[in-house]
């Protein structure tokens, strides 16, 4: 028996809804299939369901055959038509994003150079501070198939070995899911991997290959490539990304078969120095950051996302070591100086004592700064300088409040989008922004609209291949071309504005029309919310000044926006034409270069003349050596990593005392 319906599941049957659908289907004895465009797949396989790529508002047919077919049809059709009803597990779309991403702190990048001592390497000073601890090398090896042809009598044993390995991987993932410490975002990721491991698409394919005489490791590698290729071929950006999940599960099974352990960041010992060629910001954000003593990487520059995450968590980091990082693969202990960009391999006793002293002195300095937590920095002329925090998730609210942040000067919304397997809903965004507004009211919370481009794609947005993604379709450019995504965010912000002092700023602005077009969309959203009877409030609209074009038209822009926030990270790279991620040009990527300082001054002048607030949220805002200069230029808001706030307040107070 069968029934057809229109799918009302938001964004279609992607990972979590597919899993829920499978869970429901497995509760029935009947064979159940889902049919789309004449193609039928088992409703008890989440991989097959995902590969069917069922989208919201598409017509599908559910077919059931067995004793409880009527009940199965009713339940499954019910889910497709009303996915929220009757489900109490893992309200995935409700949980605000976790973690990561901030800014500020001194640490200008220094150019990587050749080793200047047998055991001393130089890289980019990416996150200030000193650390010394055991090295934790994170260089996951590639796994190659063994290419062994099995004898007939070996096959059964190899299948048993394979099944045991799959069981072990599933158990490991179930264990991870049972941990309370797992954030909602991470739980979604692990659950999706567990579903793949538990699904017979991958395992069935691998078993078929073993039966054909392939050894288990080769079979898993081939099977994972086959299934991953199917995901890659689907015309859906989100499903394409699942190919990586399949490879990740395949890798785990192979490691168990080989009796090896993957180098996992989960196991990093307390205080260890993480050594890697590259770490995805995503992996780092999910790592037990509290346990990491320091980070050393072959890749990355002072404003790369690894650096930003490290700074936001107060973890000293030296990046951009290039091939030199290989010298650290076998190190036992490592000392690192995140201010100078030095790394010392297996330091001798004298160096150890020196670093231990520096770590202690830094802790003392931090303790001495706590008196500035509650200080409101005021200049001799009575002007108050707002020292605010840059954060990227609700989890960082506490750190910002603890530091004494006078609001949020930059809430990076990208992580909210990156941490989910589909575009975050308006409700979920509204809840997140409202939580921020409430936490800091009456101080302002400046939310930056989505600032993303092809260099870090996210599920649900198809980015073109671009030769220069940093000069391409990103930030406000992408948002204006995708009003469906942009309006969802603007509506969420208008709704959240009811709960506190929300301000909104646009990234990567280079033309006045971008502000005007945004205003039209804001007006449209306001009218829609009014017509729908949804509570909402207005917000101040400002722009980031981070392109040379924005600096040059600042006097015109200032007449149409409520505030400026200078993004020195991008402004420096665009003024100096020096890629902020490229360690080889790190020397040029210097905010103190007269060209950049003059751009900042021009912006400040234009803003002050128009009577609007001029702030700064690039990393330079947290540099005590530059704060007085910025304040003298007329800036009245400085937003930075929570870790830099007290030192910045101290610098402003010192300046005020000097008159
Ligand atoms: C900047 O460019 O200065 C900025 C604050 O934004 P991001 O570092 O996120 O590009
Ligand atoms: Mg920027």
Q: Which among 543, 569, 589 is the best mutation to test ligand 1's pocket, defined by most ligand atoms within 8 Å of the CB?
A: 569
Q: What is the dihedral of CA 256, 259, 260, 265, to 10 degrees?
A: 50
* pLDDT of 286: 61
Matching CATH topology for 104-140+265-355 and 152-258? no
376 alpha carbon – ligand 1 mean position (Å) = 25
% of the chain at pLDDT higher than 70: 88
Q: Ligand 1 within 6 A of 569 CB?
A: yes
Ligand 1 touching residue 546 (CB < 6 A)? yes
Q: What is the pLDDT of residue 148?
A: 83
Domain formed by 377-658, architecture: Alpha-Beta Barrel (3.20)
Residue 92 vs residue 647, higher pLDDT? 647
Q: How far apart are CA 337 and CA 318, in angstroms?
A: 7
Q: What's the rounded Cα separation, in Å, for the pair 519 and 429?
A: 20
Q: Is 565 in the pocket of ligand 1 (CB under 6 A)?
A: no
Q: Binning pLDDT at 50, 70 and 90, where does residue 454 land?
A: low
Q: Running DSSP on this structure, what letter comes out for residue 149?
A: B
Q: What angle do CA 152, 153, 154 make, to 5 degrees?
A: 90
Task: Return the higher-pLDDT residue of 399 and 36.
Answer: 36
Any idea which architecture 2-94 has in CATH? Answer: 2-Layer Sandwich (3.30)
Q: Ligand 1, residue 414: give the atom nearest the CA.
A: 9
Instruction: Tell me: pLDDT of 659 over 80.
Output: no
Residues facing 614 on adjacent strands:
564
Is pLDDT of 93 > 80? no
Rounded CA-CA distance 442/462 in Å is 38
Distances from the Cα of 185 to the Cα of 265, 344, 423, 625, 650, angstroms: 17, 36, 13, 38, 37
CATH top-level class of 104-140+265-355: alpha beta
Q: What share of the chain is helix, strand, coil (3-state, %, to 5)?
A: 50, 15, 35
Q: Are 337 and 147 in contact (CB under 8 A)?
A: no
Structure tokens belonging to residue 11: 């964004």
pTM over 0.75: no
pLDDT at residue 91, as a whole number: 39
Residue 603 in contact with ligand 1 by CB distance below 6 A: no
pLDDT at site 108: 34
Q: Which CATH number fits domain 152-258: 3.30.1490.20, 1.10.3470.10, 1.10.274.10, 2.170.190.11?
A: 1.10.274.10
Predicted confidence (pLDDT) at residue 112 exceeds the cutoff of 50: no
Burial code (b: 16+ CB inside 10 Å, e: under 16) for 193-225 equals bbbbbbbebbbebbbebbeebbbbbbbbbbbbb
Q: Could you write out the three-class secondary structure of 163-223?
A: HHHHHHHHHHHHHHHHCCCCCHHHHHHHHHHHHHHHCHHHHHHHHHHHHCCECHHHHHHHH
Catalytic sites, residue numbers? 305, 617
What is the layout of strands, in order, in the sheet containing 31-36?
Answer: 2-6, 59-65, 31-36, 39-42
pLDDT higher than threshold 70 for residue 181: no
pLDDT of residue 186: 54
Q: What is the mean pLDDT of residues 380-392?
A: 94
Ligand 1 centroid to Cα of residue 643, in Å, is 17
Mean pLDDT of the chain: 87
- What confidence score (pLDDT) does residue 57 get? 85
**pLDDT tens-digit map of 290-312:** 899 999 999 877 656 677 678 77
Residue 193 has a pLDDT of 77
pLDDT band at 97 (very low <50, low <70, confident <90, very high): very low
Residue 594 DSSP code: H
Task: For ligand 1, pick from 411, 618, 623, 630 the residue to mutate: most ligand atoms within 8 Å of CB.
Answer: 618
Tens digit of each residue's pLDDT (9 = 90 or more) over 40-52: 999 988 888 888 9
Q: What is the pLDDT of residue 564?
A: 98
Atom 8 of ligand 1, residue of closest alpha carbon: 569
Looking at residue 344, its pLDDT comes to 96
Q: What percent of the chain has pLDDT over 90?
A: 59
Biggest CA pair distance of the chain: 89
Q: Is the per-residue pLDDT at 418 higher than 80?
A: no
The gap from C-alpha 439 to its chain's centroid, in whole angstroms, comes to 22
For residue range 555-576, what is the model confidence (pLDDT) as tens digits? 999 999 999 999 999 999 999 9
- 118-154 pLDDT, tens digit each: 588 999 888 889 999 999 998 877 788 778 889 999 9
Rounded-to-integer distance, Cα 33 and Cα 353, Å: 67
* Listed ranges 180-194, 277-291, 564-578; the one with the highest mean pLDDT: 564-578
Give dist(CA 580, CA 584) in Å, integer.
10
Question: Domain ranges in the chain?
Answer: 2-94, 104-140+265-355, 152-258, 377-658
Tens digits of per-residue pLDDT, 309-340? 787 778 999 999 989 999 998 899 999 999 88
């Amino acid at each position: 028996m069968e029934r057809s319906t229109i799918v009302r599941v938001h964004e279609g049957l992607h990972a979590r809804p597919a899993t829920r659908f499978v869970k429901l289907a497995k509760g029935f004895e009947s064979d159940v299939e889902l049919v789309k465009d004449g193609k039928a797949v088992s409703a008890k396989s989440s991989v097959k369901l995902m590969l069917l790529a069922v989208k919201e508002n598409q017509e599908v047919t559910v077919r059931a055959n067995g004793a409880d077919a009527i009940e199965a049809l009713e339940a499954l059709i019910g889910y497709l038509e009303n996915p929220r009803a009757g489900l109490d597990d893992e309200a995935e779309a409700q949980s605000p994003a976790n973690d990561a991403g901030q800014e500020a702190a001194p640490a200008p990048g220094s150019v990587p150079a050749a080793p200047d001592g047998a055991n001393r390497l130089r890289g980019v000073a990416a996150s200030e501070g000193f650390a010394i601890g055991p090295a934790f090398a994170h260089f996951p090896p590639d796994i190659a198939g063994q290419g062994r042809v099995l004898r007939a009598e070996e096959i059964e044993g190899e299948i048993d070995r394979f099944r045991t390995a799959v069981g072990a991987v599933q158990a490991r993932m179930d264990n991870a899911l049972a941990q309370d410490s797992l954030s909602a975002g991470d739980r979604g990721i692990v659950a999706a991997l567990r579903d793949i491991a538990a699904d017979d698409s991958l395992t069935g394919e691998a078993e078929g290959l073993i039966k054909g005489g392939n050894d288990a490791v080769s079979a898993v590698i081939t099977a994972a490539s086959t299934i991953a290729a199917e995901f890659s071929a689907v015309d859906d950006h989100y499903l394409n990304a699942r190919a990586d999940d399949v490879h990740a599960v395949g890798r785990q099974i192979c490691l168990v078969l080989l009796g090896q352990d993957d180098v996992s960041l989960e196991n990093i010992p307390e205080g260890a120095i993480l050594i890697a060629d590259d770490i995805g910001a995503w992996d780092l954000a999910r790592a037990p950051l509290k346990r990491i003593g320091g980070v050393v990487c072959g890749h990355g520059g002072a404003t790369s996302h690894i650096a930003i995450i490290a700074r936001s968590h107060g973890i000293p980091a030296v990046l951009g070591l290039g091939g030199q990082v290989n010298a650290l693969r076998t190190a036992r202990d490592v000392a690192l100086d995140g201010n100078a960009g030095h790394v010392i391999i297996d330091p001798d006793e004298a160096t150890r004592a020196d670093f231990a002293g520096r770590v202690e002195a830094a802790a003392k300095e931090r303790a001495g700064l706590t008196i500035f937590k509650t200080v409101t920095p005021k200049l001799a002329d009575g002007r108050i300088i707002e020292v605010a925090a840059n954060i990227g998730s609700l989890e960082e609210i506490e750190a910002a409040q603890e530091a004494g942040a006078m609001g949020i000067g930059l809430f990076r919304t990208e992580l909210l989008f990156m941490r989910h397997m589909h575009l975050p809903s308006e409700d979920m965004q509204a809840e997140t922004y409202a939580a921020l507004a409430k936490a800091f009211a009456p101080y302002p919370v400046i939310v930056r609209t989505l600032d993303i481009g092809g260099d870090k794609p996210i599920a649900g947005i198809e980015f073109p291949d671009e030769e220069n993604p940093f000069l391409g379709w990103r930030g406000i450019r992408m948002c204006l071309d995708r009003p469906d995504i942009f309006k969802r965010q603007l509506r969420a912000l208008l709704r959240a504005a009811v709960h506190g002092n929300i301000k909104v700023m646009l990234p990567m602005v280079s033309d006045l029309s971008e502000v005007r077009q945004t205003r039209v969309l804001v007006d449209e959203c306001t009218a829609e919310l009014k017509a729908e009877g949804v509570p909402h409030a207005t917000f101040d609209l400002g722009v980031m000044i981070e392109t040379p074009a924005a600096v040059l038209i600042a006097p015109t822009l200032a007449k149409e926006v409520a505030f400026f926030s200078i993004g020195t990270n991008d402004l420096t790279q665009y003024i100096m034409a020096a890629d902020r991620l490229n360690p080889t040009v790190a020397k040029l990527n210097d905010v103190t270069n007269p060209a950049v300082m003059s751009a900042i001054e021009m912006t400040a002048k234009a803003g002050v003349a128009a009577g609007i607030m001029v702030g700064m949220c690039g990393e330079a805002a947290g540099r005590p050596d530059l704060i007085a200069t910025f304040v003298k230029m007329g800036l009245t808001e400085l937003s930075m990593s929570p870790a830099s706030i007290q030192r910045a307040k101290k610098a402003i107070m010192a300046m005020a005392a000097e008159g």
